[in-house]
Amino acid sequence: MKVVPSLLLLLSVLPVRASTLPDLTPEEMDYDGAAVDPFTAPPELIMGRGAMSVSRLVAFFLENNPDADEARVARLAALYVEEAAVEGVNADVAFVQMCLETGFLRFGGLVSPEQNNFCGLGATGPGQPGLFFPDERTGVRAHIQHLKAYGSTEPLIGVSVDPRYAYVTPKGKAPDIQGLAGTWAADPLYGDKLATLLSALYL
């Protein structure tokens, strides 16, 4: 529930009993169970801590593709939260990028579902469908690692599973989502598209 800013001072001086506070919904909790500030703005930086719970990521995804396999979506959302936490990447940014790159797992472009390639790694044109990964976790991990290469100069924490990690030079050349336009993707509106999806996620 959002509070009108002009009421904040009044609310700060009124006594509030814990028993009168509403239970927090999953959308108001982060993945460690802590309350999320309702005024949190959608992230712009690639590195950082995601604010959305797994359940909110799943709900957002299904709002955009209600025909998707919900069990798979939930599994992927959990993997993005886990793998992003290892490398310090914002899970919300990574998950939304997956949604954009795969058309909310509809695919239909160069990459096919069985590749477990959720960000178009190595997909450069006809006859070049991109990399194949043995399972979902490896594919998510490769995505997170590649995103970290763009967003940070820090080395990887985990063993690299991204064959294209070394090709990102210099490291940290795109610390925010707008920097991915013209670098990660040729589309000049790529950053704007990510920002639009993030804004929808944070509604």
pLDDT score of 179: 97
| Dihedral angle, C-alpha 161, 71, 34, 85, nearest 10 ° | 0
Above 80 in pLDDT, residue 33? no
* DSSP per-residue string spanning 137-154: HHHHHHHHHHHHHHH-SS
Phi and psi, residue 156, nearest 5°? -65, 145
Question: Which of the residue ranges 18-22, 125-129, 144-148 would you say has the lowest mean pLDDT?
Answer: 18-22
Above 60 in pLDDT, residue 21? no
pLDDT tens for each residue of 66-125: 999 999 999 999 999 999 999 999 999 999 999 999 999 999 878 888 999 999 998 877
Question: Which of the residue ranges 6-10, 52-56, 129-133, 138-142 would you say has the lowest mean pLDDT?
Answer: 6-10
Question: How is residue 33 written in tokens?
Answer: 């169970």
pLDDT tens for each residue of 119-133: 999 887 787 888 999
Above 50 in pLDDT, residue 198? yes
Question: How is residue 63 written in tokens?
Answer: 């709002």
Question: Which of the residue ranges 26-30, 57-61, 126-130, 194-198 would you say has the lowest mean pLDDT?
Answer: 26-30
